[in-house]
Chain A
Amino acid sequence: MSQPPGPTGVITLKKIGDMTYEQYGAIVLSTTGVTQVTMSAAVADQLFQPNIEEQITWIEEFGSRIQGDPHQDSQSSLHNASLGAWPGGAWATQGSTRVTMVPQATLSGTVRQFLQTISVALPDSVLADTEAAGTQQRLSETNRNPTYSMRWAQTATDSVGSFGIGWHRTGESFTNLSLTINGLNSGVYFRHEMNEDILGACRTFTPFIAGTQTETTLSMGVSASAGVFHAGRIVITGGGTAAEFFMDGVSRGVITTDIPTIPGDPLTPGFSNSNANVPVCDVDYMAMSQRRTPV
């Protein structure tokens, strides 16, 4: 901030905790009348934007697809039809991305998840590490205090199955949310049955024994319905000791159990459904910010 024409002084802030600072010095603004405060936008940007030295930021807005299919006339690095690329990176799906992640005509950019054919696999979309093979990208661990953001809407009124969106164990998906040997082993996410209550969920398991999952859920107090978007946010603190769930900007509570904290067992963003014979969901964005190194 540039120096105001009124009273001036120097404030030095010493960091004493996560987002907490001690102030040394003081600036006394006018207690009567009007003081003009001048702020430089460029400096404000530096103040309020994430610090790349400390934070990893990832944003997928699905605004415009960069590549979804090999190009017929020119050399293309994208030779796998199950992969598409948006500004946030490469996404892998079950079936052709041109069929299963279809851009929608919304101003904020949205993709609609479809089931291509039930005989291939259940509808599943995950961030991939490259445009070539579809290996899931390891993006997050709860020991880095991540904040996860996502916005989605149930698409059809008559959809069936369990929908999940969020961060799951790398290599897995939200297509099977049962606590069974074939179900998801770990994740931090939102889940709901079609037209039913949206739940925040944390799930972990005994490493690395399938079928030992435990899950804690928290009602968001909101039911999913066709065409209604909801903004979910999960703020993990304490290196994975607490996960606060927000729905549409309102804190709905904190989960402190079953948060996945297994060392070396990272998480990947994605969204999936356990069954579908109609369009599943519209996803507006997914985003993440976390410390570059563990707490």
Chain B
Amino acid sequence: MSNPCGELPLTGPDGPTGVIVLRKIADDTYEQYGSITLSTTGVTQVTISGTIDPGIGGIEDTVTLREDFHSRVNLTATDSVWCFPSGAWGMPQNATPSGGGSPVVTVATICGAVGIRGNNNLGGSLSYSRDEISFSAKTNSNVDRNPTYWVRWAQFGGGAATRSIGWSDEPLSTDSANGLFWRHTNGGTITAVAKNGGAETSLASSTNAASGVYHAGRMVVAGQGLAVQCLLDGADIGTISTNIPTVDLFPTMGSSSGSQNDGLDVDYIAMSQNRVVT
């Protein structure tokens, strides 16, 4: 029997055995088919085995990225790269500081966040980087690995800019040709977006962005890219099944506004996917 919530394999108990199949019918909810009747009197020994540490055992099958932006590890901002515990995050050099200020600022939240701003000319973005030397985006995901993407962000400022966050093949200060991401204008409807070769499918939520209000987005890719379930603040807003990108993607977020008073604040960005195509 496999654990539907993780990678920990469970061996059969010494006592009564059977097969339970769980069919997912909603987020975190499953229907059970079959049954296992444990003893109703006395003691049944239950044995759990598999790898000692499921967090490690899972590493063989699953790649996990988790960036909470709690603490900056290294500042090399002149090369447009900032380092955090998950690795290096960078911005195209032409969007780095111009006329003072910084396009990447720490935000004083308990859960840690970074703010992404304009540089008085171009919109800012932050993307996973290969290394700390100079920004070179590091792809780490493809829909053929059935990834799940988590993001939490808030609009910052009231300028007329488009804010985007998710996985893409280009830094999301402007729209990309390929990607799976969340997008909204100033106070606009938060929309899930799939883009493949420039063609787009979008799925509007019923939620509007507002400065300083955080939202949690989740995209769950299934069928090696056949469908993307989109959840905003825990609510399923629907599934996208067209224009799902097939190229390799990297995590990225940004704003189209060049103003240092506009952008977005990002609390976390995370991913879990199969290590290889299965």
Binding site for B on A (CB under 8 A): 11, 13, 16, 19-24, 26-32, 34-41, 44-45, 48-50, 55, 57, 59, 61, 63-69, 71, 73-74, 76, 78, 85-87, 103, 105, 107-109, 145, 147, 149, 151, 231, 233, 235, 249, 284-285, 287-289
A87 touches B59 (CB 8 A): no
B88 touches A64 (CB 8 A): yes
CB distance from A60 to the nearest CB of B (A): 10
A98 to chain B: closest residue by CB: B133
Q: Does B130 contact A (CB under 8 A)?
A: yes
A48 touches B35 (CB 8 A): no
When the two chains form the complex, which single residue of A21, A30, A34, A287 contacts B45, counting CB atoms closer than 8 Å?
A21
Q: Which residues of B contact A69 (CB under 8 A)?
A: 133
B60 touches A233 (CB 8 A): yes
- In the assembly, what is the distance between CA of A59 and CA of B87, in Å? 13
CB distance from A157 to the nearest CB of B (A): 22
Contact size range, B: 35 or more
- In the assembly, what is the distance between CA of A187 and CA of B254, in Å? 47
- The 7 A-B pairs of least Cβ separation, nearest first, read A64-B87, A289-B53, A65-B131, A44-B5, A289-B56, A66-B83, A48-B6
A78 to chain B: closest residue by CB: B74
- In the assembly, what is the distance between CA of A48 and CA of B53, in Å? 8
B76 touches A74 (CB 8 A): yes
Binding site for A on B (CB under 8 A): 3-6, 8, 20, 22, 25, 28-33, 35-41, 43-49, 51-57, 59-60, 63-65, 73-79, 83, 85-88, 128-133, 138-142, 145, 248, 275-276
Also in contact, A287 and B59, with CB within 8 A (given A29-B36, A48-B3, A66-B87): yes
CB distance from A2 to the nearest CB of B (A): 9
* Of A11, A23, A31, A231, most B-chain CB atoms within 10 Å: A23
Also in contact, A107 and B140, with CB within 8 A (given A21-B48, A22-B45, A39-B28): yes
Also in contact, A28 and B37, with CB within 8 A (given A87-B87, A233-B60): yes
B132 touches A48 (CB 8 A): no
Q: Which residues of A contact B20 (CB under 8 A)?
A: 29
Also in contact, A63 and B86, with CB within 8 A (given A57-B55, A74-B78, A107-B141): yes
A23 touches B87 (CB 8 A): no
Q: Which residues of A contact B38 (CB under 8 A)?
A: 11, 23, 26-28
When the two chains form the complex, which single residue of B5, B75, B138, B140 contacts A48, counting CB atoms closer than 8 Å?
B5
B87 touches A86 (CB 8 A): yes
B56 to chain A: closest residue by CB: A289
- In the assembly, what is the distance between CA of A42 and CA of B20, in Å? 22
Q: Which residues of B contact A78 (CB under 8 A)?
A: 74
- In the assembly, what is the distance between CA of A32 and CA of B18, in Å? 13
CB distance from A198 to the nearest CB of B (A): 16
Also in contact, A107 and B85, with CB within 8 A (given A59-B59, A66-B74, A147-B51): no
**What are 11 A-B interface contacts by the 8 Å CB criterion?**
A20-B47, A30-B32, A34-B31, A36-B32, A37-B30, A39-B5, A63-B87, A66-B87, A68-B131, A71-B74, A149-B60
B275 touches A108 (CB 8 A): yes
B50 to chain A: closest residue by CB: A19
A145 to chain B: closest residue by CB: B52
Q: Which residues of A contact B51 (CB under 8 A)?
A: 147, 233, 235
A51 to chain B: closest residue by CB: B53
- In the assembly, what is the distance between CA of A274 and CA of B141, in Å? 34
